[in-house]
Structure 1
Amino acid sequence: MSCSGSARIPVVELLGDKLKNKDHEEIATESITGNAKFVGLYFSGHWCAPCRSFTPKLISFYNNFKKRESSFEIVFISSDETEDQFNEYYSEMPWLALPYNRRDIKRELHIQYKVKGIPLLLILDSITGEVVCKNAGNELKTDPEGKKFPWKLRPLNDILTGNVIDNEMKTLSLDSLKGKVLGIYFSAHWCPPCKTFTPVLKGTYEKIKETGQPFEIIFATKDQKEDSFKSYFAEMPWLAFPFQDERIEELSKSFSVLGIPMLVIIDAEGKLITTEGRGSVMQDPEGKNFPWYPPACCELDSFSASMVNEGPCLILFTEIEEGDDDEYSRKALEMMKPVAEEIRAAEEAKGKEPACKFIVAGDDDMVESLQQFLSIADESLPMLALLNIPREQVSCCEGKEITPDLIREYYHKFVSDELEWTSLS
């Protein structure tokens, strides 16, 4: 979830003890924390054209806002490739910065906040580190003077109150859905992929309901015309928010809805299970794995491929032998899954998520394409590789026997920035 409700990690722990100012002086991070104060983390880079376009607008907002409010500070988190680029870009900015040599902290922040693209401005509570808003750049477009700053969304359980409707337009209190797993379905009549997915979702929904499991879906329409909403909703067996209900926009911001169809699954306590419900349904149309908690480790296929593109992944490429691919994949999963679960539990105990995804690359067609992309020959298998496509780099562990200890070792080397990388560009 992108706004509010995220893990709380004190700002000093997130950013380290020291920041820097425009005069290259060390500034105690603690100095920007305090009650009713907010910190903006500005992820940006000199090489990024959208960043260079947004930065002057942010500077204007910052300078004007600081004249009337001292409760806000911004920290620049650089994605520049060199310190010279960082210095040149930072010279334009009036706020503080994370020292360029703290690449370890920068990497942790990208992982913690799932930074997939820049520019990104997120707002934190200065003491707890709780995310107040992760789409502050978008908020500035509609509120350039910051009249609604810090653009804090209501907690999910506060948004999910009031009434919804059934497809006969009868109202139903959301209180009646307490104790149920909820699916929030962002979709629209005008969207061809939505029209394709809705019948699949309907079939899965009905199968889950037949088993007696407590589940309900609420349609959050993206239609612009009420007639389109009504005709589309008439095809659905679940509930909906009324047309143009303000909660739809709040939920869209909470879950960073950038495209549709999108299915978000929320547990009975109001906690997010997954924003990838669409992929879960397509992969499991019978609903056997409902409510689709994300596995600590998965096999590479067309549904999990998006993870490879979005962030760092520790991938175990299995051996290839005619007729035995499934057996190799099964054994690889049996080895990697317990390690992935162990690491996830350890990171969650610290209020964090694992620094990378864990994937077994077996016999899916996607695997051959990925091997070719990375120039990994069949003769080199099995192989462990840490792939980071957003950073255009890979680190391959060649010539070693794959064991649980090696998987742990490679993960911790990645976290401590001890791997040797090969550029993909």
Structure 2
Amino acid sequence: MISQENRKATRLTRRYRIKSGVPTLILLEGASGSVVTRGGVERALADPDGVNFPWRPSHPKATLEDGPLLPCSARDSNEPMLHEELRHCIKGVYFSAHWCPPCRAFTPQLVDTYQRIRERGQNFEVIFVSSDRSEESYNAHTESMPWLRIPYSQEERRKKLATALDVQAIPTLVILDPRDNIITLEGRAELLEDPEGLNFPWTSRLVNILTEKYATSLHDGPAIILFVASESEECEIQFGESVLLPAAEAYRRDRPDFDPNYDDPDGALQFYIALDCETSDILREFVGFDDAVPLLTAIDIPRGVYAVMEDGAEITLDSVQQFVDGFRNDKLPTNKIAAVQKSTKSDKITD
């Protein structure tokens, strides 16, 4: 049995994306609890007298504006761009180097997702920030990149941007909104979980596409999940969002304490669209569903139970809201999750 203390530690590790082990020092804003800096240890070592405490990173906008952005070798246009021209874009700031094997493995994955997102008509641009040790290596690394780059000669600019975005290692992909505010520091992890970019720009949304990352969070609280076919993914996603989002928004209004940036919401109701994929198949088998779609479900793994919308009922805004209300008020008939039943029977046999 996992102790309450270990559960709290796991939640904090997830929430603040702690990967570097100990010692780790993350400074938080007193009232809001938002992150001031993740690199507290490094900042304290560099500034032992605390002159610049709390070591708040500067806004990346000033550094991005400090000169032109050059096209990489594989980009269609050879014209340099000013940061002002990207004012309507979601931006990915990509910190990488040719000498780094994980970077060389991730770059083609980023190229593929970048192209998929842009083909759907979304304004997305990537800016490469090099950690290469020579200009020759830098040039080799940019040959296959179809986006923009900060010139290799502008080393100080590259360093300032890494500090402003609190970059601790490479490869790192930071996603910025059109005003250059941080959406997520974990763009690489988000992309690896969602290579199609279906949840792009990976903001904290009320309704998400169910991926392996989100499937893990199902063990922490209940979820409303709409299983759909994916013959036309965009249509299925649009339909799913249209019927789930109003219910999710209503639930959010009832829960003013809900923190959308908290990956482990401690029992808060989650809302997902489950496409036809391996993650959905595993969950279906775990719970004990057949292959019927569309299928609206409420799954509560911590309690070991699930509910489904009655067979033949049309999935509409009203029927989804009624289903969610019924589940929240314990008025829906529930069944035991198949995997839980098996575990219970096994325990009885063992006893």
Could you say which TM-score interval applies, normalised by the shorter chain?
0.5 to 0.7
Task: Provide the TM-score with structure 1 as the length reference.
Answer: 0.51
Question: Aligned AA for 1:378?
Answer: F
Structure with the largest fraction of strand: 1
Give unmatched runs, 5+ long, in structure 1.
1-46, 48-77, 82-102, 388-393, 414-421
Letter matched to residue 5 of structure 2 = S
In structure 2, what is the equivalent of residue 196 of structure 1?
108
* Structure 2 counterpart of 1:246, from 155, 159, 164: 159
Residue of structure 1 in register with 2:196 after alignment? 283
Given that 2:68 and 2:83 are in contact with CA atoms closer than 8 Å, whether structure 1 keeps it comes out as yes
Structure 1 residue 366: deviation in Å? 1.6
How far apart, in 2, do the equivalents of 1:145 and 1:331 lie? Answer: 56
Residue of structure 2 equivalent to 1:339 = 247
Say if 1:340 and 1:128 are closer, same or farther in 2 by CA, change over 3 A. Answer: closer
> What CA deviation, in whole Å up to 9, does each residue of 1:241-292 have, x standing for no partner?
2334213422441xx66553x544323223344554735983159xxx9767
- 2:216 corresponds in structure 1 to 309
Shift of 1:129: 4.8
Change (3 A) 1:411 1:250: farther
Can you list the C-alpha shifts for 1:341-380, whole angstroms capped at 9, x where unaligned? 3345676x779427354224454222232355xx42237x
Query: Percent identity, aligned pairs only?
Result: 18
Gaps of 5+ in 2: 73-77, 311-319, 331-339, 344-351
Name the counterpart of 2:277.
364
List aligned pairs for 1:73-92, cutoff 5 A.
79-80=5-6
Q: 1:214 to 1:110 in 2, by over 3 A?
A: same
* SS of the residue 1:306 aligns to: helix
- 1:138-185 deviations in whole A, cap 9, x for unaligned? 544655664543221112334433124414899764345444432322
Distance in structure 2 (CA, Å) of the matches to 1:197 and 1:246: 25
Instruction: Report the counterpart of residue 83 of structure 2 in structure 1.
Output: 174
- How do 1:58-97 and structure 2 match up within 5 A? 79-80=5-6
- Residue matched to 2:129: 220
Shift in CA distance, 142/410, structure 1 to aligned 2, threshold 3 Å: farther
- What secondary structure is seen at the aligned counterpart in 2 of 1:283? coil
Kept after mapping to 2: 8 A contact 1:314/1:384: yes
**Residues 309 and 330 (structure 1 numbering): CA distance in 2 closer, same or farther, change over 3 Å?**
same
2:112 partner letter: V
Q: 2:123, 2:240 → 1: CA distance?
A: 34
1:316-357 deviations in whole A, cap 9, x for unaligned? Answer: 456899x9xxx999987655332223345676x779427354
> Counterpart amino acid of 2:212?
A
How well do the aligned residues superpose, as a CA RMSD in angstroms? 5.0
Structure 1 contact 307–313 (Cα < 8 Å) conserved = no
2:61 is the alignment partner of 1:154: no
1:296 aligns with 2:206: yes
* Equivalent-residue separation in structure 2 for 1:154 and 1:198 (angstroms): 26
